[in-house]
Structure 1
Amino acid sequence: MDVIGNGFLARHLKAVADSHQGVVVAAAGVSAAQHTSPDAFRRETELMRGLVRRCVDSGEKLVFFSTASSGIYAQPGRPGTEDGPVTPATAYGRHKHALERELADRPVDFLILRLGHVVGPDQPAHQLLPALAAQVRSGRVRIFPGARRDLIDVADVISIIDALLGTGANRTTVNIASGCAVPIERIVEHIQHRMGATAEWTHGAPVVTQEVSTERLRGLVPAVASMGFGPGYYRGVLDKYLPWGEPAGSAGTPA
């Protein structure tokens, strides 16, 4: 595969790049849920359109990363599905969903992968775990009541993408998440415990979070059943990656 980009996901994808000829992965887009920059959105739109033109001409398959966060799934009551109603709650979610629709309208092979909150080594400081770890270390954490986060190990994400590409799945959208969204308070409590630190919590406005359905993922990749996804999965992910500490940089907004 041809991995476009050199960021967090792109670096991990290079481990399986030799296994999938004829696949182009757009791993250079907007990765911050807090992003509202029209320039950043425009750059990703232009990148995606250029890659679509390439794949139409070459017959390659395009993999596009979207989000399974509350930016896309913001209707409580039942888990968000790939073919269900979507009401993006943020500028980031609206941008990603617009690109999803544009890609689906083009005559090209594609996979749209809606990712949960991916956790792994050497993440940028604005992403969830390094941002929360930095806030805990600073002694002050901002909590948004009602926020829930579906954490997934980047190693599991790469294994799932590798398997998905092997199935030949095409022109479809797939949620890649654990299926277990965890209250942000439990995540912060575990980070505090793991780091041996206690921070002061301040509270923002309550938010609404929707669970993420993994039914389609499990049907396409049966091996997901052996990845340990469940209510306690997030603790193992945090324990695995917290020892490396947060990267240098300012703390971001966790919820």
Structure 2
Amino acid sequence: MEVIGSGFLAGRFADLAGSRPGVVVAAFGVSVASGIPEADFTREATRLYELIRRCERREEKLVFFSTASAAMYAVPGEPGREDGPVFPSTAYGRHNLTLEAVLAASRVDYLALRLAHVVGPAQHARMLVPSLVRQIQSGAVRLYRGARRDLVDVDDLVDLTDRLLATGVSRTVVNVATGSAVPVERIVDHLEAELGVTADRAYVSEATSQPVSVARLRHLVPEAARIGGEDYYRDVLGKYFREYAATTAAAG
């Protein structure tokens, strides 16, 4: 496996670099969902186009990371499916859907993974858990009313990706999520208890919440059923929040 990129996901997938020959992981590009300059989208698209051409020539399999967040699944009701209609709510969601379409129109062997909110070490400060920890420690946190977040441990993402590749599934899109999104207030409650801080909460707007279907993931990789459940998000937060608390304290 060749991992292309230098950020959060690239660092975690480096553990698989010695396995899965002929697989290329595109672990680069836009990693936050808002406030993204158009130039950043253009840069990621151009790099992906070049990689698609390369993988076509060399007959390599390309792994691409898309999103299963509310940026993609933004219509309340039945769970969002990979083969169902989607109405992306942000430029970030529309960008990812466009790149999925480019892959589908190409001849490359690809696996596009729509990711829920992945949590792990050394994340961008604007991603969910680092951002919430920083805000809580400052004494004030801003939330979207009605927001829910489906958290996935990055170590589980790496494991599930490896298992999906082992199935040989080709030219398809798979949601990687638990299927059990947690109200953001419960995430904040847990972080406040762990940090020993109670922050003022300000609600800025209503948020659309659409559950994510994990039927395809669990059909392909039955072991995926082990992630999720009532305590899973607490375990994920407990595993990583201390790093961001320490980073915030050091910066302060």
Q: Which category of TM-score, normalised to the shorter sequence, fits these structures?
A: over 0.9
Deviation at 1:35, TM superposition (A): 3.8
What do the CA deviations read for 1:207-244 (whole angstroms, capped 9, x no partner)? 111111100000111111234x1133111111111122
Cα distance in structure 1, aligned partners of 2:163 and 2:207: 34
Unaligned runs of 5+ in 2: none
| 1:24 pairs with 2:24 | yes
Aligned to 2:45: 45
The amino acid of 2:73's aligned partner reads: Y
1:73 equivalent in structure 2: 73
Give CA deviations for 1:5-56 in whole Å, capped at 9, x if unaligned.
0100000001112111101111011110114311000000001100000011
Question: Counterparts of 1:164-243 in structure 2 under 5 Å?
Answer: 164-227=164-227, 229-243=228-242
CA contact (8 A) 1:71 1:90 kept: yes
Question: How many residues matched?
Answer: 248
Give secondary structure in 2 for the equivalent of 1:141.
strand
Distance 1:14 1:236 in 2: 24
Q: Classify the secondary structure of the residue corresponding to 1:204.
A: strand
**Where does residue 3 of structure 2 map in the other structure?**
3
- In structure 1, the gaps of 5 or more residues are 250-255
Q: Distance in 1 between matches of 2:128 and 2:214?
A: 21
Partner of 1:112: 112
One-letter code aligned to 2:42: R
CA distance, structure 1, for counterparts of residue 125 and residue 2 of structure 2: 26
Is the contact made by 1:35 and 1:91 (CA closer than 8 Å) also made in structure 2? no
- Percent identity, aligned pairs only? 52
CA–CA distance in structure 2, aligned partners of residues 164 and 230 of structure 1: 21
Give the TM-score of the pair, scaled to structure 1.
0.95
Secondary structure of the structure 2 residue equivalent to 1:63: strand
- The alignment partner of 1:205 has SS state of strand
CA distance in structure 2 between the aligned counterparts of 1:245 and 1:99, rounded to whole angstroms: 31
- Distance of 1:139 and 1:226 partners within structure 2: 35
Q: CA deviation at 1:160?
A: 0.3
Deviation string for 1:138-184 (max 9, x for gaps)?
A: 00000110111000101100000111111101000000011110111
Measured after TM superposition, the shift of residue 248 of structure 1 is 5.4
Alpha carbons 1:75, 1:210 under 8 Å: kept: yes
* 1:86-125 matches, cutoff 5 A: 86-125=86-125
Letter in 2 for 1:245: Y
Q: Which whole-Å CA distance do the structure 2 matches of 1:92 and 1:9 have between them?
A: 18
Quick one: distance in 1 between partners of 2:3 and 2:88?
A: 27
CA distance in 2 between counterparts of 1:194 and 1:78 reads: 34
What SS does structure 2 have at the residue aligned with 1:79?
Answer: coil
The CA RMSD over aligned residues, in Å, is 1.2
The corresponding residue for 1:253 is none
Q: Secondary structure at the match of 2:17?
A: helix
Contact 1:64–1:111 at 8 Å: present in 2 too?
A: yes
TM-score (norm 2): 0.96
Q: Distance in 2 between matches of 1:212 and 1:133?
A: 25
* Cα distance between partner residues in 1 of 2:248 and 2:234: 24
